[in-house]
Amino acid sequence: MMKIKNESLESSKIWLGLARFNVIETQRLLLRPFVSTDSIFCYDFMKKWENMRYVMLPCENMEACEWFIVDEMMKNPLGNWAIELKSEKKVIGFIHFSQLILTQKKAKIGYVIHQAYGHQGFMTEALQTIVAFSFEQFHLKSLELEIESENYFSQKLAEKFNFKRVKMSKLNHLGAIRQFYSYQLTKEDFFKYEKGESCPSTKKY
């Protein structure tokens, strides 16, 4: 569940932005709120260790998957998006704000995609969209990614969008101490690179 710290009246623009764009359509994807029946598709990738190893323990059964979606994604829906592949009308992953610190106007992004749909640019499309909307519509000042040192795909994805590695830390993840890299992208840097191809404006969607 998203962790919310120090909410104040000044956070209204952030919440309004998230509410106005709780559904975002891109070229191939629909980023939208979850419904409980999405577990039918999500269980196919959330039951596999190799697919979830950098995120969470796999779901033991369909009921556990459905409860995860309800408890983690639907109770507090703003900032949580199912990634639906429009051509197949099925959920192939999710992307969300795993932490939102309102007083600092920053968020930490987490995501996962079905391995069968990896290396086809779908996560790139989803992440670039949320990054652009975060700065242009949600009024955030910085974004963070926490990536395990062995997760080379996510590291390359972060660097593609000009996230900078700012620190290394050792954290307890799924019962083991592992090394993580923290990446950060500021609003200032986003607009600095906006004229390039890495972080397109929301006006393109």
pLDDT at position 40: 95
- Phi and psi dihedrals of 28, rounded to 5? -120, -10
* Number of structural domains found in the chain: 1
Residue 82 lies in a domain: yes
* Contact between 179 and 148 (Cβ < 8 Å): yes
**According to the model, what pLDDT value does residue 205 have?**
40
Whether the CB-CB separation of 55 and 174 falls below 8 Å is answered with no
User: Helix, strand, coil proportions of the chain in percent (round to 5)?
Assistant: 40, 30, 30
Which strand (E) or helix (H) includes residue 113? strand 106-113
- Residue 88: both structure tokens together: 């197949």
**Residue 168 covered by a domain:** no
Is 8 a domain residue? yes
Average pLDDT score over residue span 94-122: 96
Greatest CA separation for the chain: 46
Identify the pLDDT of residue 137: 96
How far CA 121 is from CA of 85, 124, 191, in Å, comes to 12, 5, 23
164 vs 4: which has the higher pLDDT:
164
Q: pTM of the entire structure?
A: 0.89
Instruction: Please check whether residue 199 lies inside any domain of the structure.
Output: no
Q: What is the CATH number of the domain that holds 89?
A: 3.40.630.30
Looking at the domain assignment, is residue 198 inside a domain? Answer: no
169 lies in a domain?
no
Q: Specify the pLDDT at position 4.
A: 53
Q: Decide: 144 and 107 in contact? Cβ < 8 Å.
A: yes
Tokens 């709780």 belong to which residue? 22
Residue 202 maps to a domain: no
How far apart CA 33 and CA 122 sit, in angstroms, is: 18
Q: Which domain holds residue 3?
A: 1-140
